[in-house]
Structure 1
């Protein structure tokens, strides 16, 4: 367990390499304490790693792929099929966005399983930032593809005489319930997994003494599965929301 925050309160989480840096935990840099910088540093670490890995892995592509290139081609094809299954004919321009979203969230979720690292998605600021990106992309595409008037008609629903009832409900769903549920679902699941693992690691010495038995190991495997599922759910809902804003679901229904 580690102490964090300005008041020195205890938090149920394992220490990260940032906590080992000899800087006063109560000092501020750009208005943030050392502990508050942890999810930002972890997110930046993932971005740098994925960027370098992508550049190195695609530097010498061949017609006859090696093991790494074959794996990447399978991954890209899988993400493409996943996006097309949700967005249909409109999927093309959004495959890079949804695919990147999945890989980024998956990597952030998995990072917490490495000693001295934390999952940035166990911090609500990270998940709400991801949700805001999906929110703005969704409504930008809705207005871009339907026009302002057409998008407002879409939100008013049919028949038009129900618009006074449907429009406020739709507006509340788009502005409040969807962003809140999207961000809270990812944050709650990842934080819960990391917290339980930290608790098991913390109580192991008291229950087992010095016996090197990893009590938390079953929870690690469960967290690996949960991290994959949560990345998939977030990407699935993002593609579903964008397709709905464009009007793909309505066209398929009719």
Structure 2
């Protein structure tokens, strides 16, 4: 229920219980429209505090928490290097942060009274725009304006009138749309199915709800991890392509 008299397949969040008018506007947004923003802020603050606390007392002989963090960092480093090769170094923090942030946003929806911000298209398109600007900024920075345009034109040069418009449409339209819609569609679908199963439980199984949605929760946990990996993988692939790493390896 996102508002009075408005039916929805979303489960309620703690924001819905705030003593605020459902259809009122607060800084231009309704209470329901604030949900993904608040959830994203909760994740950013939580991840930031966790990182600060976990790295306050680093030791040469790591404890369990430090060992876990080192495994995660090493895994993200290897993941980025696999896609970007020798150019991976400066982008490991960006790709790693992107993965952890999206992973946390996907997972938080499995906690009662929380929602996945990535089930809202505004969140996924914002993430996509960040990747979009980083990709093309790095492309121009590493190749120069003319060099990047030449890269967009492809080879052989006589096919440029055909290749350049297609490449431009791919960069400006198809890649951003597919990147944002894939993440949004999968997470929204998972959360919607779980909400439907929870809503049907009392009717199908009696007065005492049985967690018939539990198998879907496990699938959602797997899907959330995979979607975070896919988004990060494609982001690193796009950046590497803009820099020209893939062309160098091909030659």
TM-score tier by shorter-chain length is over 0.9
Residue matched to 2:37: 40
Which whole-Å CA distance do the structure 2 matches of 1:119 and 1:202 have between them? 18
Shift >6 Å, 4+ stretches: none
CA contact (8 A) 2:109 2:191 kept: yes
Asked if 1:180 corresponds to 2:174, the answer is: no
Which whole-Å CA distance do the structure 1 matches of 2:209 and 2:62 have between them? 43
What runs of 5+ residues in structure 1 fail to find an aligned partner?
Answer: none
Which whole-Å CA distance do the structure 2 matches of 1:161 and 1:30 have between them? 53
Within 5 Å, give how 1:1-254 maps onto structure 2: 2-4=1-3, 8-254=5-251
CA contact (8 A) 2:241 2:247 kept: yes
In structure 2, do the counterparts of structure 1 residues 42 and 249 end up closer, same or farther at CA, with 3 Å as the change threshold? same
TM-score (ref. length: structure 2):
0.99
Which whole-Å CA distance do the structure 2 matches of 1:84 and 1:160 have between them? 31
CA displacement 1:189-242 (0-9 Å, x = unmatched): 000000000000000000111234100000000000000000000000000000
Number of equivalences = 251
TM-score (ref. length: structure 1):
0.98
In structure 2, do the counterparts of structure 1 residues 84 and 206 end up closer, same or farther at CA, with 3 Å as the change threshold? same
Deviation at 1:180, TM superposition (A): 0.1
CA contact (8 A) 2:121 2:180 kept: yes
Which whole-Å CA distance do the structure 2 matches of 1:9 and 1:83 have between them? 44
RMSD: 0.8
CA contact (8 A) 2:108 2:115 kept: yes
Per mean C-alpha deviation after superposition, the further-off stretch among 114-123 and 207-216 is 207-216
Q: SS at the partner of 2:110?
A: coil
Q: SS at the partner of 1:22?
A: coil
